[in-house]
A and B are shown apart, each in its own frame.
Chain A
Amino acid sequence: MTEILVDIITLVLILLGAAFSLLAAVGLIRMPDVYMRMQSATKAGTLGLACTALAAAVHFGTAAVAMEAALVIIFAFATAPIASHLIGRAAWVVGVPMWHQTGRDDLSDLGHLGRLEDNRSATFDDGRKTTGRRSEIDFDGEAIDPPVSMPNPP
């Protein structure tokens, strides 16, 4: 009886993990810009990995395996948000455009005022400016009005 219960719990957990991993991949394909893709990939991917590792711990049932699975889960939950934060910040610094319907840009100085405008710019600590961050391509593939590019200060 216990073996069958363990097998059922293992299969349910591993199916949940695979489903969350598939959801992460679907979000990676379907989301319109890098920042949203990162959201779905990090959250669903972490949960899928945690479910799969938990399934391994339940299936083997020994303390050593449970410890290793717990370490995998702890590492995933500790490092995935840090990596996502680093990549998001790097994408913003590089200047990857946001989706044109994104309402606010919290990293820019004027972002909290409301909707992004075409020539809205942000200033770094060293005085350099970035130009407008609206995407030139609509989510449906149609071209929208291009952002006004500002010359970089010397």
Chain B
Amino acid sequence: MIPELGDTTHWLYLVVGGIFAIAMVMAVIRLLMGPSLPDRVVALDTLGFHAVGVLCLYAIVTRQPSLLAAALVAALILFLGTAAFAIYLERRARP
């Protein structure tokens, strides 16, 4: 039996947050050093996915289920932004 496991300040939640932080830092590295513009767009997409995951984690840790609605909106806007970037790139290449 692990009695303190239900506590959302358990150290495993800290580990999960650290893993997400490392992943986001790596995505930011690719965003900064990506040789081409599609590289940066892919990195931004991944960064947004990680942000949505962090929102879900934050909803669990702070016990506020309404943060999941924010995650839903963030995922939707993320797709719109990526699609807009792709259409912009393609239209700029062949007008």
Binding site for B on A (CB under 8 A): 3-4, 7-8, 10-11, 14-15, 17-19, 21-22, 24-26, 28-29, 34, 37-38, 41-42, 45-46, 48-49, 52-53, 55-56, 59-60, 62, 64-65, 68-69, 71-72, 75-76, 79-80, 82-84, 86-91, 93-96, 124, 126, 128
Contacts and interface: CB of A to CB of B under 8 A. Distances in A.
A18 B19 contact: yes
A71 B26 contact: no
Nearest to B6: A7
Contact of B38 (A29, A79, A80, A96): A96
Contact of A82 (B13, B68, B79): B79
A30 to B, nearest CB: 10
A110 B15 CA distance: 49
B36 A34 contact: yes
B66 to A, nearest CB: 9
Contacts of B2: 4, 7
Size bracket of the B interface? 35 or more
A28 B42 contact: yes
Interface in B37-77: 37-39, 41-43, 45-46, 49-50, 52-53, 56-57, 59-60, 65, 68-69, 71-72, 75-76
8 contacts: A14-B57, A25-B24, A28-B30, A83-B79, A87-B38, A87-B45, A87-B86, A94-B90
A26 to B, nearest CB: 7
A25 B68 contact: no
Contacts of A79: 75-76, 78-79
A90 B46 contact: no
Interface string B1-38: 11001100010110110011011101101100000111
A91 B36 contact: yes
Given A37-B30, A37-B39, A48-B49, A21 B19 contact: yes
Nearest to B39: A34
Nearest to A51: B53
Given A83-B83, A93-B90, 11 more contacts: A19-B19, A21-B20, A34-B42, A53-B53, A75-B76, A76-B52, A79-B76, A83-B82, A88-B38, A90-B38, A94-B38
